[in-house]
Structure 1
Amino acid sequence: MTAWTSDRPVEVWPGSAAPLGAHWDGTSTNFALWSAGASAVDLCLFDPDGTEHRQRLQETTHQVWHGRLPGVGPGQRYGYRVHGPHDPASGARYNPAKLLLDPYARAVDGELVLDDALFGWSPADPSAADPTDSAPFVPRGVVIHDSFPWDGDRVLRTAWSDTVIYEVHVKGATMSHPDVPSALRGAYAGLAHPAFVEHLLSLGVTAVELLPVHHFVSEPHLLRRGLTNHWGYNTLGYFAPHAAYSSAGTGGEQVTEFKAMVKAMHAAGIEVILDVVYNHTAEGDHTGPTLSFRGIDNAGYYRLGGPGSGDDLSRYTDYTGCGNTLDVRRPPVLALLMDSLRYWVTEMHVDGFRFDLASALARSMHDVDRLSAFFDVVHQDPVVSTVKLIAEPWDVGEGGYQVGNFPPPWTEWNGKYRDTVRDVWSGAQVGVRDLAYRLTGSSDLYRSDGRRPFASVNFVTAHDGFTLADLVTYEQKRNEANGEENRDGEGHNRNWNCGVEGPTDDPAVRELRARQVRNHLATLLLSTGVPMLTAGDELGRTQGGNNNAYCQDNEVSWLDWGAIDPDLWSFVSTLVGLRRRSPVLRQEAFFEGTEIAGTGGTRDLAWFAPGGHQLTSSDWFDTGLQTLGMYLDGRGLRHRDERGRPVLDDSWLIWLHAGADPIDVVLPGAPWGDGYELVLATEYPTGTPPQPTALPPGPAQLPGHSVWAMRVVRTPTAHGTP
């Protein structure tokens, strides 16, 4: 079935109010759009040459405007013009001069072109509607029909305790990859190419977390500066894969290409998690463009007014820092969110979601509410509740920092983990008390409500902020290229440049920086919880000190496959493999710190000071203590395999020493261990000692700025090893 053309007779049948969006049944397409306050709705169909044909939708059911058009099928470009009052002070911003994207569009075609016609208000009088037609400058929806051959593919269910996440940007991953064909670079197909998939497998990651792939556009202020939104946290279409990431085309082909990417990842045993932005849209604040939601039903989609605004609803409540906040309290908006989530699971086979600024979704009135409708609906949904759900547990509003406060079954980006680990390795005088919580799954944050250690998604870096290489190279951000006079980006990064700001040829500083990178990664991958690696950190990627590269769609943000640190790559692979083989390093339950029967007095978890004694109360509160020994007894695991059999593992003694100078420590003797095998040490470029190092109980010397992972050796007795 081809798209509708102007020489075809036009009929508009009543159609159906459900489902929302544009749906082809083989002979006709049903269009349905929700708008509570509209007085009329025009469906706009576009010929291949751009000629527009408007058809008034005559039917409305429960605030849904609908009609069925015979002969209209896949490939048809379309949009809406919505009539109604234009009175910003009362929250109404209807303007039929503006072509609007269907919020339920499954595919999007066309670029956003900066023009004054994008804006629904008149520059001469902001309370008046601008009459200029925006159609030549905005993207359109595409009617699709996709019968993708999934061939038995299904959503994966990798256990949380086995999960290692790799946060990556679809375009940036392969734009400079020499083994990916140039036509596929920067596309979904590039991500699915064997050259990139093999890299993931070599690292041992089990899930990719993709920066936003819902169709997004760039903010006008970036377009005016000749920049674009690279990260994608500026969503316009919650059902459509971002069209620019398609190598195949934008007439619906991007949907097929996205599915093929997911299928390829699943074939390799890798989950696909989407970073989703349901807290705000691309339309920005009251000065922003009218592209979809604002013109369809401004007061229905957005939170308006706010503290101090009185009865003036021309302004938006902004908990996101992006100009507006979607009003998830309203049933149609909550339905949009849930319909979108279900679509990406059932139709696109994605395995989970990371919710950007999730606290904004949980605000009932103004406070973040654990009992909000958002949580209730997600929790009871038979589809969405079964996949991985990750919250970024904060927003920019008052009381928005909610790390540890999301209910089951949510997991969270653990911002306290990031801050603590950075503090420790930057030399801040913070002691080891908080570090101990972070190393063992953050029981202080997640235990009280019945969640498990994997509720903590541990990370040291993310897309937002310094790369790991830059974290140990710069103390001052270098964001001038963003065009905001270096005012943007986080100013307090809890980091240390190893004594020199920026690149240096000093071999001692370079070696120290490389070791500090390994220290951060070793801490991350030896911690209980779910580790998240940021793409490129395993390669030594730098952004030249830019810690807010959201608008740098260029070599600053792309992975540099020509400047790989092979030793670092090997180090990360070794660590991930060590974690995969050691259940005690990826606990499914919190440690108890209690004695294990039959072991002579060891505990499932114990903490040692450099002198070889278990930490005392004064040690825990000593802010000058920079050395910590963590003992994990593999005989104390409290989870079972799928047949109910107890899981046993090796025992480990892990030392973390953040001080600059070497320090003498005492390795504890019986019953803790009869000896120790040094398996991983961060003073070596690949983490592997040149030869197996067996150490007896007693004195040993840790190098400055180092992590040691030591396997406990026990001498067999007449009755076997206890």
Structure 2
Amino acid sequence: MPNPRASTGRPHPLGATWDGQGVNFALFSSIAERVELCLFDASGARETRRTELAHHKNVWHAYVPGCRPGDLYGYRVHGPYRPEHGLRCNPHKLLIDPYAKAIVGPLRWTNAHYGYEPDAEETDLSFSTLDNAADMPKCQVVDDAFDWGSDAPPHVPWRDTVFYEAHVKGLTQRHPNVPEALRGTYAGLASPSVIEHFKRLGVTSIDLLPVHAFVDDHRLVELGLRNYWGYNTLGFFAPEMRYSASGTVQEFKQMVKTLHAAGLEVILDVVYNHTAEGNQLGPTLAWRGIDNPAYYRLNEDEPRLYADVTGTGNTMHTRHQVVVRMIMDSLRYWVGQMHVDGFRFDLATVLGRGPGGFDQHAGFFSAVAQDPVLAHVKLIAEPWDLGEGGYQVGGFPPGWAEWNGRYRDTVRSFWAGEPGHLPELSRRLCGSSDIYQHRRRCPTDSINLVTVHDGFTLQDLVSYEHKRNLANHEDNRDGDNHNRSWNCGAEGDTDDEVVLALRERQKRNLLTTLFVSLGTPLLLGGDEIGRTQQGNNNGYCQDNEISWFDWQLDDRGRQLLDFVQRLIAFRKSQPALRRTGFFRGEPDADGVKDVAWLRPDGEEMTPAEWEQPGPGAVGAVICGWKTGELDEHGAPLHGDSVLILVNGQRNPLPFMLPALNGAEWVPRFDTRVPSGLPLNEGRPTQGEYVVASRSIAVLTQASK
């Protein structure tokens, strides 16, 4: 029986839309001369039908009766191929739909994926007639229907949020209590044993490394490696199928539904700043062959080349309306159809770049600010890129939180023993008011982090002073050379018990600092169990035991896990540590300060004393009965006052305990003790408290 005849269909919405009777296909291209829709059999190996699309105002479209969810397709775009002018259409290349909601099948690397002849003397100025369809993934029509039941977003308040950054595969690939068939998958991440770990740990929001469909770089495949992190996007609407045990989009939705039922938010790390197509010598997989000048920023003087402020070879043209629309449609899709709770934007400075550099009033930020679908989700910027003026910590508009790189650098440097960081450490402990307060933002806008996927793990931060990235096959040139790390006296693995004990103390110091700081803490997944990458600080291509969690814990691992669980629970119990307003540091009408900084003798620090050289020591007393916060019923929120005693010196130091309201201070944490529990934990203490060298102690005092 012949296929039903296609009609012109509708130009909107973009992508493939099933209506129960057929599918409407729509694709934007302002430079195409013809566009063909190619349909394939279930294997993706045989093209079964080719349909020419009609066009209206730069949108090419057709309606195909009888087409249904599960059907595979791709596009061929006929148009100008003049690379010297930035035009790279090549109909010999099957292209991925930028709005595809599922992308299935492997990308098998061959020279056919390049729009030019790689061996030609004129390189990308040449023209390839090789057909790549046999080795391309295919777009798949999907049915958006899913039984969400009573699913509701947890809407965790910012002041209560604790992020946990994790990789879908790495988290569960070696987990003994996850069924083997589900390890490394969305279903595995939502398994009872993993959710139990999240809940016992006390984190609230799972920040997943990229799950948008991505490909393994040609170079990595030739080296026998893979793009493990996933910052190599091929589709902004499609979940990566290598993480789907069932091979369906519904598995991702079920994961979100299950995590929501446990009260956990799902945050996605999204990469709208560049794509998998690389520079002018990269492959033609989607956007490049559809409308290169619209989707990418080209070099103004030589449009054959790409403007690259991402370090990947290309930069998305986020000032072009079609790109802004695509990103906004993608964000709305993941919130509306996939029910995710927020986004962390990779190299987010790119999104605000205008003709004069970064602009917090850029069109993209305005589009997000007015969008009702995005009004209640968490928006987090990685506030830098590689271009001029790219470091924008504190520069994003209200409504955005940011990864605070200055927090990371200060905390690392202080505990590594570098002199002169005490004044800045005090500012980081106070929510980085010097960065955020003047922009009418709040402490929770500072995402406080010590370690993340990019760099050393916590275990490696205290074990290595030099990266060990030879496994990446880049001669150890990749990765940051300035890690602000300290190996505690021995580089890498050691049997020296003194060194090992000091490393454990340093981990407790760094974690305690993180969870007693104002702001929103982010814990790198695996740091709570001492995960190591054996000194590799750039594991982007290590899809193996270097990156995967090892859940077989020794005594130190179990002790550290217990410590982190108690530390997060303590933070949750103390309103003084979860303020959404900055400290004033001045007495109120009752003569009470919300925060006071003390010398070891109990007297307040003077401005001159802040500038003294050396690692330093200081105490901070945070008032708990005047937090300025209200609970969910509008009543004043108050709790214990918190005393934080920091000793970065090499000798023990006695601190005089301040007389705040006549009540006694109760020790809660002391990092000199392997368990983190003070020897007199829970028992009131008077007079002075001795803080060991390179240690931090935390005490509380009951409110009035």
Relative to the length of structure 1, the TM-score reads: 0.95
For 2:80, the equivalent position in structure 1 comes to 85
Q: 1:589 aligns with which of 576, 581, 596?
A: 581
Q: CA deviation at 1:283?
A: 0.3
Question: Unaligned regions of 5+ residues in structure 1, if any?
Answer: 1-6, 715-720
Percent sequence identity over matched residues?
Answer: 50
Q: 1:574 aligns with which of 563, 566, 581?
A: 566
Determine the C-alpha separation between the residues in 2 that align with 1:330 and 1:531: 35
Q: 1:314 aligns with which of 301, 304, 307?
A: 304
Determine the C-alpha separation between the residues in 2 that align with 1:417 and 1:231: 24
For 1:453, the equivalent position in structure 2 comes to 443
Determine the C-alpha separation between the residues in 1 that align with 2:696 and 2:635: 33
Determine the C-alpha separation between the residues in 1 that align with 2:66 and 2:460: 57
For 1:3, the equivalent position in structure 2 comes to none
Q: Is the deviation greater in 565-574 or in 129-138?
A: 129-138
Q: 1:172 aligns with which of 159, 170, 174?
A: 170
Contact 2:144 2:337 in 1 (8 A): no
Q: Secondary structure at the match of 2:207?
A: strand
Contact 2:163 2:523 in 1 (8 A): yes
For 2:35, the equivalent position in structure 1 comes to 41
Q: Note the 1:338-357 alignment, pairs <5 A.
A: 338-357=328-347
For 1:611, the equivalent position in structure 2 comes to 601
For 1:683, the equivalent position in structure 2 comes to 672
Determine the C-alpha separation between the residues in 2 that align with 1:387 and 1:673: 43
Q: 2:155 aligns with which of 154, 157, 160?
A: 157
Q: CA deviation at 1:440?
A: 1.0
After superposition, the C-alpha distances for 1:78-129 in whole angstroms (9 at most, x for unaligned) are: 0000001110010100000111000000001111111111111123132122
Contact 1:525 1:531 in 2 (8 A): yes
Cα gap change, 1:152/1:652 in structure 2, threshold over 3 Å: closer, same or farther?
A: same
Contact 1:11 1:69 in 2 (8 A): yes
Q: CA deviation at 1:622?
A: 1.6
Contact 1:619 1:625 in 2 (8 A): no
For 1:65, the equivalent position in structure 2 comes to 60
The reply on whether 1:285 has 2:279 as its aligned counterpart is yes
Determine the C-alpha separation between the residues in 1 that align with 2:171 and 2:439: 38
Determine the C-alpha separation between the residues in 2 that align with 1:133 and 1:69: 24
Q: 1:385 aligns with which of 372, 375, 386?
A: 375
After superposition, the C-alpha distances for 1:27-65 in whole angstroms (9 at most, x for unaligned) are: 110000000000000101001242114534341011000
For 1:272, the equivalent position in structure 2 comes to 266
Q: CA deviation at 1:672?
A: 5.4
Determine the C-alpha separation between the residues in 2 that align with 1:80 and 1:607: 64
Q: 1:331 aligns with which of 321, 328, 337?
A: 321
After superposition, the C-alpha distances for 1:380-408 in whole angstroms (9 at most, x for unaligned) are: 11111321000000001111000001011
Q: Secondary structure at the match of 1:189?
A: helix
Q: Is the deviation greater in 216-225 or in 341-350?
A: 216-225
For 1:210, the equivalent position in structure 2 comes to 208
After superposition, the C-alpha distances for 1:185-215 in whole angstroms (9 at most, x for unaligned) are: 0000000000000000000000000000000
Q: Secondary structure at the match of 2:64?
A: strand
After superposition, the C-alpha distances for 1:126-158 in whole angstroms (9 at most, x for unaligned) are: 212211001111111000114211002123311
Q: Is the deviation greater in 357-366 or in 616-625?
A: 616-625
Q: 2:299 aligns with which of 287, 305, 325?
A: 305
Q: Secondary structure at the match of 2:357?
A: coil
Q: CA deviation at 1:691?
A: 4.1
Q: Note the 1:191-230 alignment, pairs <5 A.
A: 191-230=189-228
Q: Note the 1:508-547 alignment, pairs <5 A.
A: 508-547=498-537
* Partner amino acid, structure 1, of 2:574: S
Q: Secondary structure at the match of 2:427?
A: helix
For 1:27, the equivalent position in structure 2 comes to 21
Determine the C-alpha separation between the residues in 1 that align with 2:615 and 2:658: 19
Q: Secondary structure at the match of 1:543?
A: coil
Determine the C-alpha separation between the residues in 1 that align with 2:458 and 2:56: 54
Q: Secondary structure at the match of 1:578?
A: helix
Contact 2:665 2:699 in 1 (8 A): yes
For 1:188, the equivalent position in structure 2 comes to 186
After superposition, the C-alpha distances for 1:402-431 in whole angstroms (9 at most, x for unaligned) are: 000101100000000000000100000124
Determine the C-alpha separation between the residues in 2 that align with 1:442 and 1:327: 32
The reply on whether 1:705 has 2:694 as its aligned counterpart is yes
Q: CA deviation at 1:697?
A: 4.3
Contact 1:417 1:460 in 2 (8 A): yes
Contact 1:674 1:696 in 2 (8 A): no
After superposition, the C-alpha distances for 1:426-460 in whole angstroms (9 at most, x for unaligned) are: 00012411111100111111111211110000000
For 1:4, the equivalent position in structure 2 comes to none
For 2:387, the equivalent position in structure 1 comes to 397
Q: Is the deviation greater in 133-142 or in 48-57?
A: 48-57
For 2:640, the equivalent position in structure 1 comes to 650
Aligned residues: 698
Contact 2:667 2:685 in 1 (8 A): no
For 1:432, the equivalent position in structure 2 comes to 422
Question: Unaligned regions of 5+ residues in structure 2, if any?
Answer: none
Q: Secondary structure at the match of 1:287?
A: coil
The reply on whether 1:105 has 2:97 as its aligned counterpart is no
Q: Secondary structure at the match of 1:538?
A: helix
Q: CA deviation at 1:686?
A: 2.5
Determine the C-alpha separation between the residues in 2 that align with 1:320 and 1:201: 36
For 2:90, the equivalent position in structure 1 comes to 95
Contact 1:431 1:622 in 2 (8 A): no
Contact 1:675 1:694 in 2 (8 A): no
Determine the C-alpha separation between the residues in 1 that align with 2:592 and 2:337: 51
Determine the C-alpha separation between the residues in 1 that align with 2:21 and 2:682: 73
Contact 2:489 2:499 in 1 (8 A): yes
For 1:9, the equivalent position in structure 2 comes to 3
Q: Is the deviation greater in 698-707 or in 184-193?
A: 698-707
Determine the C-alpha separation between the residues in 2 that align with 1:366 and 1:277: 23
Determine the C-alpha separation between the residues in 2 that align with 1:195 and 1:46: 40
The reply on whether 1:296 has 2:285 as its aligned counterpart is no
Q: Is the deviation greater in 550-559 or in 632-641?
A: 632-641
The reply on whether 1:142 has 2:140 as its aligned counterpart is yes
Q: CA deviation at 1:602?
A: 3.5
Q: Secondary structure at the match of 2:375?
A: helix
Q: CA deviation at 1:690?
A: 4.3
Q: Secondary structure at the match of 1:675?
A: coil
Cα gap change, 1:442/1:305 in structure 2, threshold over 3 Å: closer, same or farther?
A: same
Q: Is the deviation greater in 45-54 or in 87-96?
A: 45-54
After superposition, the C-alpha distances for 1:298-321 in whole angstroms (9 at most, x for unaligned) are: 111000015xxx2x2111000100
Determine the C-alpha separation between the residues in 2 that align with 1:482 and 1:202: 35
Contact 2:509 2:695 in 1 (8 A): yes
Determine the C-alpha separation between the residues in 1 that align with 2:662 and 2:228: 52
Determine the C-alpha separation between the residues in 1 that align with 2:371 and 2:458: 38
Q: Is the deviation greater in 422-431 or in 161-170?
A: 422-431
* Partner amino acid, structure 2, of 1:16: R
Contact 1:467 1:542 in 2 (8 A): yes
Q: 1:664 aligns with which of 636, 654, 667?
A: 654
